[in-house]
Structure 1
């Protein structure tokens, strides 16, 4: 199928969906509300999220709002997937693995705390039909070991089984890191089934994302956790755009200052070339950098995979901003402080 036929209808659909996103006025209105209840009421009455949020009765329940907003994002995935077949549909299903993995992490943490998995059912994000495992069987698990056994036959079994004998203090950390690595490897694998021009576009996006996550991981591992270089290397993501294995290894064996010097020689210099608090704003800077890359890509998109990928990510960042605004109001942050924690720049913000 030609890209003109494949993307003509879906691109039109996505531009309509994107036109309903929050604008600057919505951001300002949300920030200026007196309390969280007013913010949630505004979202229910004035935004595209009204359908998902209509079921929320407690107008100060930020956790439930976040869950419903994430479910809205998954609904958008469903709308997009309907337009695709073959390798393209498989790629978007692989993108949805992230939410399956987030649920697995949720269950693992609950088991570590000796909680009943059935009691956290309302926190799951996906519809049952999208799970690649038997959800009922998985929720019957009473230990991490039993949980892993109940994943036998899925792509997650080997990723988790490797670490089941690790010491208690590290087991969840190792498992979560390996699940993230599995997710990115799955995206790389599925991208091979795209047409060449779309594969190049997607793999560049994937590579830049992995570069930024690797920088953050290595920097925090060196500065805050004193991790060994071998441990840092073990959990780096392998398909970066700027950094191959040799460069990643050099970064992992660096001191904090040496790592900064390496990054300052790349297009990611903005992470350290700043007078602002590097540690406080690093994650936000990464998200903001990606947000504006996706925004620019959305504006320039042609009949290729760009628009679909950009839309999903832009919506994801919008949801993060909404939760940031709710939490900022909950903790009494000022207008200016709130703006500084947002992915999207709002006029008059600090950076």
Structure 2
């Protein structure tokens, strides 16, 4: 009864918000369009993005401007959910928002490490980050070197892991990205028990643990297929947490002599049992499909719980990923079939 009372208002709000998400047929229609302005007009007339897209000048329809608009819509949804939440739920959302903080830090690292001439363009994030996160946009935009950027994170939890890494020789952007990713998941795994209790802890443990497993499987696959990395180097890429994929299974996949042997071992995992290899989907799409199935299953099982919030945010983030990909495909003149393949991850 307690959860029903705590979540009834939030769930009603989330259902109304989810009803406005794009349907598969919307993406089919968007994929068939011939230009980005056509796609933007479709979204203006048929989606919840109408208001924010109407603020966008027709001459500013390149990827960066559209991504800003879509990102602001995600932040707007997060803010609406936050306002409906109680103290405990807000505590969880503060944990959830770390993914957005890490995305921002990685963006800033790319700017300073690659020495881009263009300035930081973070004003559209300022209101959200000032209100909901520990990161100061004003400090970030003054950074011109990696050292300055890390020092400007001194009052945040990210300073220590980045500071330790900075002192190593020949540190790359990839190293920073990997360190932040590993730190994020390790922190989520530790803090979940302090914030969540009983059923909600079980629900989130399944989602977080599965995400870590699936990301580790992706890293092993990419390391073997695209980089031919040695086993010892592959181990350094992984989040050191095992949920449903045991250390023994991980070891066998890392030390498999080739991709075929890796995939044979992958088929034996609990995740692959729910995955149709005949669909010819990429491992990235396997990751997304497994998470989609898991989020929806958790919400069906416990509709009045934290699962309602995490499922909606997952669906919204996936919608933005698909939209950004679709618009980029249209920009480069890909066919409808090719665009849908990129959105869905199916191989040709």
TM-score range, shorter chain: 0.7 to 0.9
Bigger shift: residues 147-156 or 111-120: 111-120
| Shift in alpha-carbon separation, 1:143–1:271, aligned structure 2, 3 A | farther
* Aligned match of 2:191: 190
Q: Which moved more, 1:243-252 or 1:210-219?
A: 243-252
Task: Compute the displacement of 1:245 (Å).
Answer: 3.8
1:65 aligns with 2:66: yes
The answer (yes or no) to whether the contact 1:148–1:160 under 8 Å persists in 2 is: yes
Tell me the equivalent position of 1:208.
210
Q: Secondary structure at the match of 2:166?
A: coil
TM-score calculated relative to the size of structure 1: 0.87
> d(CA) in 2 for partners of 1:307 and 1:315?
12
Taking the aligned partners of 2:43 and 2:242, their CA distance within structure 1 comes to 37
Secondary structure of the 2:97 match is helix
SS in 1 for 2:165: coil
1:199 corresponding residue in structure 2: 201
How far apart, CA to CA, are the structure 2 residues paired with 1:247 and 1:155?
33
Q: Distance in 2 between matches of 1:123 and 1:102?
A: 14
1:162 and 2:148 matched = no
RMSD in angstroms over aligned alpha carbons? Answer: 2.8
Q: Aligned equivalents of 1:191 and 1:298: distance in 2?
A: 18
Residues 1-351 of structure 1 aligned to structure 2 (within 5 Å): 2-57=2-57, 58=59, 60-115=61-116, 118-122=119-123, 124=125, 126-168=128-170, 170-192=171-193, 193-256=195-258, 257-269=260-272, 274=277, 281-299=282-300, 301-343=302-344
Deviates more, 1:299-308 or 1:190-199: 299-308
Question: With CA pairs under 8 Å and 6+ residues apart, which has the higher RCO, 1 or 2?
Answer: 2
**Paired residues of 1:295 and 1:314 also in contact (CA < 8 A):** no
Q: What residue ranges of structure 1 are gaps of 5+ in the alignment?
A: none
Contact residue 129 and residue 135 of structure 2 kept, 8 A: no
* Unmatched segments (≥5 aa) in structure 2: none
